[in-house]
Amino acid sequence: MNKLIFCTIFSFSLSVTAVFGQTTKSQPLTLEEAMSEVEDVYEVGADEEIDNFDFLYNGKESFKYDGTMIDNLMNEAYKHLGARYRLGSKGPNTFDCSGFTSYVYRQNNMNIGNSSRDQYARNIPVKRSEMQPGDLVFFTSPRSGRGVGHVGIVIDYDPVTQVFTFIHASTKDGVKVSKSTDGYYSRRFVGVRRVQ
């Protein structure tokens, strides 16, 4: 039995030496030493595997808004909850949809464009699955046909369900918070843009 165990250990240490190169010791590795070297190689390999996927995340950070900026945007937007809707109005007491979004961003020293179509055209397209708070969301309206006719600012987004909440100036209720699952908006979603 002892010979069998010794042969197994000796055979294993020879295999390890063949795979990992000559050891600095003149005698065969013990089982503990051999296992230690195998664990070290495995750990390095695992780290390299993770590092190899870094390319998937490179550049993504540049697409994230600064947390302070988002807080400032949301604070400004929420100050106007309940403000009345008025076509063509740019605030601060009444708004239309693009007047509201441009006003909120302007208070944070950003020019995003004047009309909803202009805001859609001049800002960066983003997939719905990559949406973040602070992004602009666009919808059709009864007067716009299939084109952009309404805009709001994303408050929150659930990547699992792809449901988002947004703040906007609606023609009926003025500045309010809505969900993408609301019947009217779920049928009219056009796309997402990121302000940079």
Whole-angstrom Cα distance, residue 100 to residue 102? 6
**Range name among 48-52, 104-108, 123-127 with the lowest pLDDT average:** 48-52
Structural domains in the chain (count)? 2
* Dihedral angle computed from the Cα positions of residues 51, 52, 54 and 55, in that order, rounded to the nearest 10 degrees: 160
- The model's pLDDT over 18-50, given as tens digits with 9 standing for 90+, comes to 444 444 445 555 545 544 444 443 333 333 333
Give the residue numbers spanning the domain of 36. 2-56
- Domain CATH code at residue 165: 3.90.1720.10
- Please give the structure tokens belonging to residue 29: 């590795």
Q: What pLDDT, on a 0 to 100 scale, did the predictor assign at position 65?
A: 73
Average model confidence (pLDDT) for the chain? Answer: 78
Q: What pLDDT, on a 0 to 100 scale, did the predictor assign at position 32?
A: 54
Other C-beta atoms within 10 Å of 110: how many? 13
Predicted model pTM = 0.67
Among 56, 74, 94, the domain-final residue is 56
87 with 183, same domain: the answer is yes
172 with 187, same domain: the answer is yes
183 with 89, same domain: the answer is yes
134 with 173, same domain: the answer is yes
124 with 85, same domain: the answer is yes
Q: What pLDDT, on a 0 to 100 scale, did the predictor assign at position 50?
A: 37
* Range from 10-19, 140-149, 166-175 that averages highest in pLDDT: 166-175
112 with 67, same domain: the answer is yes
Query: Alpha helices of the chain — where are they, by DSSP H?
Result: 2-20, 31-52, 67-79, 97-106, 116-122, 183-186
Whole-angstrom Cα distance, residue 141 to residue 88? 15
